[in-house]
Amino acid sequence: MAGDPVGTAERNAAGKAAEVVRRGAAARSDVVLGVDTIVVLGERILGKAADADEAASFLRDLSGRAHDVVSGVCLRRNEEAWTAHRVTRVDVRRLSAAEIERYVETGEWRERAGAYAIQGIGSGLVTAVRGDYFNVVGLPVSVLVEGLASFGLPGFAWRQTDRTGGPLQ
């Protein structure tokens, strides 16, 4: 797949947030989060592998090379939307055919952009991360905090509770 990686990730994130709102799955005053993360190798966007063969192909292509991980983030409340992105550079070590086969056999590649999960066994594939590690995991938290602030919410509102353990108002 080819195209504008930043535009693709942001559009996908906005579409996810809009779908939640469209379905009525959130109260009107709620801030809805949509996130989409893609892996970009050269001019190619590597989405989620369709099967084990495609996962192995993605990993062969990533082997010994650097790639970008791009996440689009969209926060939406009613008709108001805030969209941003983060780009992180990741280096993958040279992988043998046997290592690729063993990793694919773990199944960890399923539902993962680029067919790997840095927060799991896939951490052994990576030699360097230049930028936001959490972006590679799939949620650039610092971008989320910036977006919450744009809606007038405290940066860590999703984690704050009052003295009774209930959500902070």
122-169 confidence digits (pLDDT tens) = 999 999 999 999 999 999 999 999 999 998 887 665 565 555 555 544
> What's the domain count of the chain?
1
Could you tell me the pTM of the whole model?
Answer: 0.88
Q: Is residue 166 part of a domain?
A: no
99 to 1, 55, 57: CA distances (angstroms): 25, 13, 13
Catalytic hit among 4, 30, 36, 132:
36
What is the domain extent for residue 89? 5-159
Q: Is residue 168 part of a domain?
A: no
Active site residue 36: yes
pLDDT digits (tens, 9 = 90+) for 59-106: 999 999 999 999 999 999 988 999 999 999 999 999 999 999 999 999
Q: Is residue 119 part of a domain?
A: yes
Q: Is residue 169 part of a domain?
A: no
CATH of residue 152: 3.90.950.10
Beta-carbon neighbour count of residue 4 at 10 Å? 12
